[in-house]
């Protein structure tokens, strides 16, 4: 599981220089992936703490998710977000 997350992060970092992977477009995709689990308002609030460049996306959302989901579930949800919102798009 950790190896898959690291691989997803590497792919995300390689692709994030593309214009549609930064700023508002990236936040909308991540919010869309989180909304079914957290609701749209909570997803948007979580992303307010993320830098405009998105460079701190994972470090900003995973600890917050872990507080109420637990570490393992938060890790799985972050993997889902990375895969769905950042890698496959």
In this prediction the pTM is 0.66
Those residues whose C-beta lies under 8 Å from the C-beta of residue 1, and which sit 6 or more positions away, are 75, 76, 79
How would you class 56 by CB atoms within 10 Å of its CB: exposed for 0-12, middle for 13-18, buried for 19 or more? exposed
pLDDT of amino acid 30? 86
Tens of pLDDT along the chain (89 residues) come to 778 888 888 877 776 656 555 677 888 888 888 899 889 999 999 888 888 777 788 888 889 889 988 999 999 988 888 787 766 65
Domain boundaries, the chain: 2-87
Nearest-CA neighbor of 51 among 22, 74, 28? Answer: 22
Q: What is the pLDDT of residue 71?
A: 93
pLDDT at 73 (0 to 100): 92
Q: Beta-carbon neighbour count of residue 87 at 10 Å?
A: 17
Distance CA 28, CA 7 (A): 23
């Amino acid at each position: 599981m950790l190896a898959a997350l690291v691989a997803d992060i590497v792919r995300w970092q390689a692709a994030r220089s593309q214009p549609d992977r930064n700023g508002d477009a990236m936040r909308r995709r991540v919010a869309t992936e989180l909304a079914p689990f957290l609701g749209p308002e909570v997803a948007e609030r979580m992303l307010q703490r993320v830098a405009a460049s998105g460079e701190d996306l994972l470090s900003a959302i995973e600890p917050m998710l872990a507080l109420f989901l637990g570490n393992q579930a938060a890790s799985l949800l972050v993997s889902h977000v990375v895969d769905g919102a950042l890698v496959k798009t």
